[in-house]
Structure 1
Amino acid sequence: MRILVTGGAGFIGSHLTDAFLSRGDEVAVLDDLSTGRPGRLDPRVAVHQVSVTDAAALAAVVDAVRPELICHLAAQIDVRASVEDPAADARTNVIGTINVLEAARAGGARVLFASTGGALYGMDAAIPSAEDQFPEPEAPYGTAKYCAEQYIGLANRLHGTAHSVLRLGNVYGPRQDPAGEAGVVAIFCGKVSRGEQPVIYGDGGQTRDYVHVGDVADAFLAAADAPRPGVWNIGTGAETSILTLADVIGQVSGRPVEPGFGPARPGELRRSALDVTRAAGELGWKAATSLEEGVASVYAWVLAGEPDR
């Protein structure tokens, strides 16, 4: 298959690009490089430095690459940034997705969209949350992702396309920036490796569904080969509190973690875990990496100097 990965020089996108290459697919990347790094990518991959908010430039890349599949991962991913500037979040996450859909329609490509499970279902959702749970996001980021999903569903109804949505849990793994604003596993591993105190915002009882990036890449491959459109949660189905995560990092690192505490941040959920029954049944996919194994991979990567590859 010929595949274009938007946001392909990012943390998840670069792993996905590697996964497609490893099975013999032809892959190109579109990334504005605002946070992505070309060094994460295999040298065989062509990188087009273009933003999904630039409809004309995006369409030109799709016309040149002629992908059969577009994996759309380019996004504004910071929940706090979306609260501070919801219009900017919507420009990337809503308008950018519409631009991808229009370029895909012109080029006859199918789209796999990386949505969010963790920020979508809302404060009162059943745990674990299934795909038929009505979304009530608590921040502009989740709202924008849900809006983008609606445009994907509309495209399927209006144009007879077979685009699909993968609602991701809290993805972690090597190549996630330990100095960034998102990605608590990488941030905590980075601080612990340097002998610094990680900070928990809130009381530490808040839970997330942590899914390893390698498992997420496998889910995209399974969805790429699926014969029909769908909406699938991609997680582990398990809740893990921040305090438990800190304990696991302490066990892996051999350095007991005694975090500091700060005020809870607006727009962030108390509990989150995803029901992954549908993905197992329809895609034959299930997360295979335990939290201990996954955290160990991140800590080893940090100790190795956080290489791009």
Structure 2
Amino acid sequence: MIRIEQLQKSYGTAQALAGIDLRIDPGELFAFLGPNGAGKTTTIRILTGLTRIGGGRVFIGGHDIVAEPRAAKRQCGLVPQHINLDSELSVRENLDIHGRLFDMPPDKRQTRSAELLHYVEMADRAGQPVKQLSGGLKRRLMIARALMHQPKILFLDEPTVGLDPAIRRRIWALIKRVQQDGATIFLTTHYIEEAEFLASRVAFLDRGRIVALDRPRTLMDGLGTWAIDRVDGEAMATRYFATREEATAYSAAQDCGFTLRRVNLEDAFLHLTGKKVS
């Protein structure tokens, strides 16, 4: 569904993307992880036609984004990092305007918006001004808006940023439902547990390059199953173990405070890059 070949992008002398190769299958939920400035948002902006490609080739649903930009864009729905709804309009009006931009006829816009508001559990909010909505409801509306023209691919750029844990998990459930209904999803996030829960595959991006690409469980299993964090001077040191018994035996010999926990996806990223996902 998405094919990227040697994707490059520079801003002046700063290289944002240094030759990315990637294929994402139909119906896959794929997570793109990396520290701030790694090139995540630049990649999404290129794939959705908001930023010009610097080099390489990109195909969206079989369409070259340079040779067939309109056809490629019609395959995509985008939920950006920052809320960009029209706050003075109602929930329904925001969906209607999006449908107009994609040349949807009036009857189809009405039917589709009603379906989507039911889908995201906001049917009772249809006439409410967006400025009266909570952050979580605005995020749900942004997902509904991105789905209005029935795209095959949904791009989510940090879709739950700033939300409390309970609301974030409701958005996770909605994202999973969108995938189960057949959409291909490309996700960037700095919540590591979000990628662990949602994604079938993840890529680690660092300094514009993919440094690892695999299933979350496979990347974590490369380190072990259990981790011990302990204070080492002014820093935090972590060691990994295949079994809990090994970890417990090690911790018994320590004379400082420690925390025993399961290995997570952030451990794998730190091990490969020395940086935190952010």
Q: Same fold by TM (over 0.5)?
A: no
Structure number with the higher strand fraction is 2
Larger RCO of the pair (alpha carbons < 8 Å, separation 6+): 2
- Report which of the two structures shows the higher radius of gyration computed on alpha carbons: 2
- TM-score calculated relative to the size of structure 1: 0.27
